[in-house]
């Protein structure tokens, strides 16, 4: 604190937030999180660049090649329509990952805004908004998704929007709790006293300071979205052919378990498990890295 005059002193400088490099260093020290990030990077590269290097026809059927076991020319065999399973797996992964990321981002964005507004407004507005959340949580997301999927024609964009619109409830609760904590900070109280409304407080001061919570939550939302689209496709309500995803591949593969066609089941099943676990590892690593910062 520097002396300005005999009676006046300069106010203390606000404590600096931990640099992003510190958070990154903590994340890099978490081996499961780094391994999960590498798996996701490889999965993304494989699904988007793989079809360019390993080109297969995923549009026209070839029944004379149906259910060939893994071998030369078809490393993972072929399915019941003659599609190359490896090429199908890469194409399906692109669909599953794209829907998962878009739905996770959308659900987190809706929940963040809803929770921030509820926490900033308080009073009856908070009560009404959170009762809507409680009502939504009481209804299973998968049930709502199945009903919606029967009313509209599924596509990548439609499924991403539907899953995002049924998965924002948990982020809303988390964001509301974070907002209630942040609004007690002195700087938030100060801007509220000078006339800042709930919208300005939420968008200019609450949401930017809750970025750590949002980043952690979006990873888990992506994992949940990948599982949800797999559930829906497994039940036959996913994207229409020839587009496919891992859940649809798994559902179709189970039809031929009687003749030992393991290559129709294991690849998509392993892909779902590995990618979802990798996303969860990344989320756990981010949560630990941001939690170690201490009070902001």
Q: What are the tens digits of pLDDT across the range 68-126? A: 889 888 899 888 888 999 999 999 999 999 999 999 999 999 999 898 888 878 788 88
The CATH homologous superfamily to which domain 45-56+74-291 belongs is: MetI-like (1.10.3720.10)
**Which token pair is 98?**
């794209």
The pLDDT of residue 293: 54
Task: Give the Cα separation of 105 and 79 in Å (integer).
Answer: 33
First-residue to last-residue Cα distance in the chain: 21
The pLDDT of residue 37: 95
Domains of the chain by residue range: 45-56+74-291
Task: Give the Cα separation of 171 and 108 in Å (integer).
Answer: 6
3-state secondary structure at position 243:
coil
The pLDDT of residue 100: 93
The pLDDT of residue 19: 53
**Which token pair is 178?**
């974070």
Task: Give the Cα separation of 151 and 225 in Å (integer).
Answer: 20
Task: Give the Cα separation of 111 and 127 in Å (integer).
Answer: 16
What count of other Cβ atoms lies within 10 Å of the Cβ of residue 9?
Answer: 11
Q: Which residue has the tokens 């990948």?
A: 226
Phi, psi angle pair for 84, to nearest 5°: -70, 125
Q: Which residue has the tokens 């959340």?
A: 133
Task: Give every residue of the chain whose pLDDT is below 50, as ranges.
Answer: 1-18, 294-296
Q: What are the tens digits of pLDDT across the range 139-167? A: 888 888 888 888 888 889 999 999 999 88
The pLDDT of residue 18: 47
User: What distances in angstroms separate CA 217 from CA 173, 231, 249, one per listed residue?
Assistant: 11, 21, 28
**Which token pair is 221?**
């939302």
Task: Give the Cα separation of 235 and 213 in Å (integer).
Answer: 33
Task: Give the Cα separation of 172 and 117 in Å (integer).
Answer: 10
The pLDDT of residue 296: 47
**Which token pair is 134?**
């409680």
Residues 271, 276, 281, 282, Cα dihedral to 10°: 100
């Amino acid at each position: 604190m520097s002396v300005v005059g005999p009676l006046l002193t300069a106010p203390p400088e606000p404590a600096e937030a931990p640099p992003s490099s510190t958070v990154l260093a903590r994340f890099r020290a978490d081996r499961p999180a780094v391994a999960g990030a590498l798996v996701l990077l490889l999965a993304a590269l494989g699904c988007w660049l793989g079809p360019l290097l390993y080109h297969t026809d995923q549009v026209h059927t070839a029944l004379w090649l149906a259910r060939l076991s893994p071998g030369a020319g078809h490393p993972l065999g072929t399915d019941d329509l003659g599609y190359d399973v490896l090429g199908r797996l890469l194409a399906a992964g692109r669909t599953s990952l794209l829907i998962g990321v878009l739905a996770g981002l959308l659900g987190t964005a809706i929940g963040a805004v809803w929770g921030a507004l509820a926490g900033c407004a308080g009073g009856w507005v908070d009560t009404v908004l959170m009762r809507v959340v409680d009502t939504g949580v009481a209804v299973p997301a998968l049930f709502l998704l199945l009903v919606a999927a029967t009313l509209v024609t599924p596509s990548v964009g439609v499924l991403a929007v539907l899953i995002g619109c049924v998965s924002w409830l948990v982020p809303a609760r988390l964001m509301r709790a974070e907002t209630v904590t942040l609004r007690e900070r002195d700087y938030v109280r100060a801007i509220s006293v000078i006339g800042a409304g709930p919208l300005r407080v939420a968008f200019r001061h609450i949401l930017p300071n809750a970025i750590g919570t949002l980043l952690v939550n979006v990873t888990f939302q992506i994992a949940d979205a990948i599982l949800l689209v797999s559930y829906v496709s497994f039940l036959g309500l996913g994207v229409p052919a020839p587009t496919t995803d891992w859940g649809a591949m798994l559902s179709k593969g189970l039809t031929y378990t009687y003749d030992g066609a393991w290559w129709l089941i294991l690849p998509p099943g392993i892909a779902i498990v590995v990618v979802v676990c990798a996303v969860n590892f990344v989320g756990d690593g981010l949560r630990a890295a941001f939690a170690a910062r201490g009070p902001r």
